[in-house]
Amino acid sequence: MNHTLGEFAHRLGGKLVSANREGTFHGFSLDSRDVKPGSVFLAIKGERVDGLDFASTALKLGAAAYLGTREVGGAGIIVDDIAKSLARFAKSVREEYSGPVIGITGSNGKTSTKEFVSAACHPLGSIVKNPGNWNTEFTAPLIWDGVDSDTAAVVAELAMRGFDQIDHLAAFTQPTVGIITLIGTAHIEMVQSREGIAQAKGEIIPHIRPDGMLILWQEDEFLEYLKAKSRVPVQTFGFSGDATCQITGYRALDWRRSEVQGVLHGKSFRLELNTVGKHQALNAAAALLAAGHLGVPVPDAIQNLPTAQLPPMRMEVIEWRGVTIVLDNYNASPDSTVAALNTLAEVASKGRRVAVLGEMKELGELSEIGHRQVGKALLRTHPDQVVLFGEQSALIHDEALGLGFPATQMASAPSIEDITSVLLALQPGDTVLIKGSRALGLEKAVEALPR
């Protein structure tokens, strides 16, 4: 697109005030404390603060203009509704783009799958994708600013926090390939049930273009429900022989690498990933299917998968004084927590295996069931020591003890400082998994360690 304020305002359906229509901008800023010179500052009204109160600060720090719902002085673009206007902008660019678009949603694994898909599709050329977790109604549209005639493919991660959100995001994304990683329990509080999650995630399906494809997890309880909604061909990934891309073998080489074997379209393959966990092998299988649909030869896609750059706090490995710290604290649900515990049990450790588990939020009425599910997983994966944090983690404690997990191997930490003390007591060779909802800030326990 033409990166001028006038063109941007036109695509938004907004009014440009006190600004040069031919003036250019570069990127976007969401926080006035971190304004990039020449960017457009999104003055979003949140629950606690109104971004327009900081528009003048953003302009003083070098923003080219602010985007808001009323004039507050200085260069601005005024719209009636920021989310709707951003969707209008993104849709206008999408309709001019003729290349492939991969839309990814699901309860867990969206960001990892996005990175695997981007890596697998690298042989096609320039790939545009969401930076970090820009996957909401305010941030997902912004990736379309980076799309031009040289863009080989767009990989778009779409978040769900309630009904109609995926519908909103997918309406302007219009994917040629849709991926639903799995129907789990993340954000279940917003839709009340897993059936509600399946319905909300399934909102992507009607927006897949007629010549496209839908990719689903073969072992998903809601597979048939999702397939029935699709008007395009469906391919699947999974461990069963019915999967289009079947994972037949998995082995963790160390905490940073794993080996995966599988069969795709009747041909065996082997690949290495720069991360661990059987769930990551599934994410990589989904990426192979997407890349294949776009015409990337399987050997080329496999060769590029290890270049995927997974973001911080997703099975991030930190070596500290001989202790291996695995920080998987971007978010937590019963599914992702059990997967992390499985990985802790699978990867070799010279010393003890320790699990620091925080409570899982946004589970609503299913909070007790979800936390007890993790308690059951402790009995099966059996870490040498478990440290629990947060009020709801008491349910993990009760379930595990009730099933026979040794009381001497489980304790509660009243504060982040207490978790740091646990880490300080670890010995060289020990491995500790830190897993909990993002709101808990468990990474602060690691940041407090002496260097």
**CA gyration radius, the chain:** 23
Q: How far apart are CA 397 and CA 67, in angstroms?
A: 48
pLDDT number for residue 194: 85
**Domain extent at residue 208:** 85-307
In the chain, what is the straight-line distance between the N-terminal and C-terminal CA atoms, in Å? 47
pLDDT at 161: 81
- CB atoms < 10 A from the CB of 319, how many? 9
- Higher per-residue pLDDT: 185 or 156: 156
**Does residue 1 register a pLDDT over 60?**
no
DSSP conformation class of 326: E
Q: Which two tokens stand for residue 75?
A: 């260069």
Residues 56 and 137 in one domain: no
Q: Place 68 in a pLDDT band, splitting at 50, 70 and 90.
A: very high
- Using the 3D structure, point to which of 79, 95, 117 is the last residue of a domain: 79
Considering the domain architecture, whether residues 278 and 196 belong to the same structural domain is answered as yes
Mean pLDDT of 218-241: 97
Which strands, in side-by-side order, build the sheet including 76-78? 15-17, 76-78, 65-68, 40-42, 28-29
pLDDT score at 329:
86
How high is the pLDDT of residue 257?
Answer: 93
The pLDDT score that the predictor gives to residue 188 is 65
- 95 and 67, same structural domain? no
Same domain, 363 and 399: yes
Mean pLDDT, residues 317-342 taken together: 92
Verify that 72 and 156 share a domain, yes or no: no
288 with 403, same domain: the answer is no
CA atoms within 13 A on the CB side of 391: 2
Last residue of a domain, one of 60, 79, 98: 79
From 31, 57, 79, give the residue that closes a domain: 79
pLDDT exceeds cutoff 90 at 184: no
pLDDT above 90 for 224: yes
Q: What is the mean pLDDT of the chain?
A: 94
The CATH number covering residue 128 comes to 3.40.1190.10
The model's pLDDT over 401-425, given as tens digits with 9 standing for 90+, comes to 999 999 999 999 999 999 999 999 9
In this prediction, residues 358-379 reach a mean pLDDT of 91
Q: Which residues pair with 151 in a beta bridge?
A: 126
- Summarize the confidence of residues 91-110 as an average pLDDT: 95
> How many CA atoms lie less than 13 Å away from 239 in the CB half-sphere?
9
The reported pLDDT for the residue numbered 108 is 85
Please write the tens of the pLDDT for every residue from 18-67: 999 999 999 999 999 999 999 999 999 988 899 999 999 999 999 999 99
Quick: pLDDT tens for 149-183: 999 999 999 998 889 999 999 999 999 999 999 99
Residue of higher predicted confidence among 331 and 301: 301
Q: What pLDDT is attached to residue 351?
A: 96
CA 443-448-451 angle, 5° bins: 115
Which of 276 and 184 is assigned the larger pLDDT?
276
Report phi then psi at 323, rounded to 5. Answer: -100, 135
Query: Does the pTM of the predicted model rise above 0.85?
Result: yes
Residue 317: count other Cβ atoms within 10 Å of its Cβ: 16
Q: Are 420 and 389 in contact (CB under 8 A)?
A: no
Asked whether the beta carbons of 76 and 85 are under 8 A apart, the reply is no
CA pair distance 301, 294, nearest whole angstrom: 11
Assess whether pLDDT exceeds 90 at residue 361: no
Q: Return the number of other C-beta atoms located less than 10 Å from residue 18's C-beta.
A: 11
For residue 127, pLDDT over 90 is answered with: yes
For the chain, what is the domain count? 3
Q: How far apart are alpha carbons 172 and 144 in whole angstroms? A: 10
Quick count: other Cβ atoms within 10 Å of Cβ 204? 27
Identify whether residues 39 and 142 lie together within a single domain: no
The CATH number covering residue 410 comes to 3.90.190.20
Residues 196 and 282 placed together within one structural domain of the fold: yes
Does 259 share its domain with 224?
yes
Kindly state whether residues 136 and 194 are assigned to the same domain: yes
Handedness of CA 266, 268, 274, 275 (dihedral sign): positive
Residues 209-228 have a mean pLDDT of 97
What pLDDT, on the 0 to 100 scale, is given for residue 2? 62
pLDDT in tens, 246-287: 999 999 999 999 999 999 999 999 999 999 989 999 999 999
pLDDT classification of 300: cutoffs 50, 70, 90: very high
Q: Give tens-digit pLDDT for 426-449.
A: 999 999 999 998 889 999 999 999
- For the record, the structure tokens of 266 come out as 């009747």
Q: What residues does 389 pair with on adjacent strands?
A: 358
Q: Tell me: do 53 and 95 sit in the same domain.
A: no
Average pLDDT over every residue of 72-92? 97
At 425 the pLDDT is: 96
- Count the Cβ atoms, other than its own, within 10 Å of residue 218: 20
| Mean pLDDT, residues 387-393 | 94
Query: Which phi and psi (to 5°) does residue 237 adopt?
Result: -125, 150
Question: Residue 368, SS3?
Answer: helix
Same domain, 155 and 238: yes
Q: Tell me, what CATH number does 46's domain have?
A: 3.40.1390.10
Does position 344 have pLDDT exceeding 80, yes or no?
yes
For residue 412, which amino acid is it? S
Q: Six-digit token pair at 232? A: 């395009």
pLDDT value of position 189: 65
